[in-house]
Amino acid sequence: MFSAVIDYIALFYLVLLLWIPFYWLVFHTAIRFWRRIGNRAFCIALPVWLIFAAAIVMGRNELLARRIDRNVLTWAAGGVLFVAASWLDAQTRQALGWRRLVGLTELNPQHPLSMVVRTGIYARLRHPRYLLYMLMVLSMAFLTGALVIFLLAFLNILMYQILAPLEERKLVDQYGPRYRDYQRVVPRFVPHFGRSPEARISS
CA 179, 16, 78, 66 torsion-angle sign: negative
Task: Give how far Cα 179 sits from Cα of 93, 117, 135, Å.
Answer: 21, 10, 25
Q: Residue 106 sits in a domain of what CATH number?
A: 1.20.120.1630
- The pLDDT tens digits of the residues spanning 58-97 come to 999 999 999 999 999 999 999 999 999 999 999 998 887 7
Q: Residue 188, Cα to own-chain centre: how many angstroms?
A: 13
pTM: 0.84
- The pLDDT tens digits of the residues spanning 185-197 come to 999 998 876 654 5
Number of domains in the chain: 1
- The pLDDT tens digits of the residues spanning 11-51 come to 999 999 988 888 878 777 777 777 777 777 777 778 888 98
- The pLDDT tens digits of the residues spanning 92-119 come to 988 877 666 666 566 666 665 567 788 8
* Domain enclosing residue 29, as ranges: 2-202
Query: What residues have CB less than 8 Å from 72, skipping those under 6 apart?
Result: none
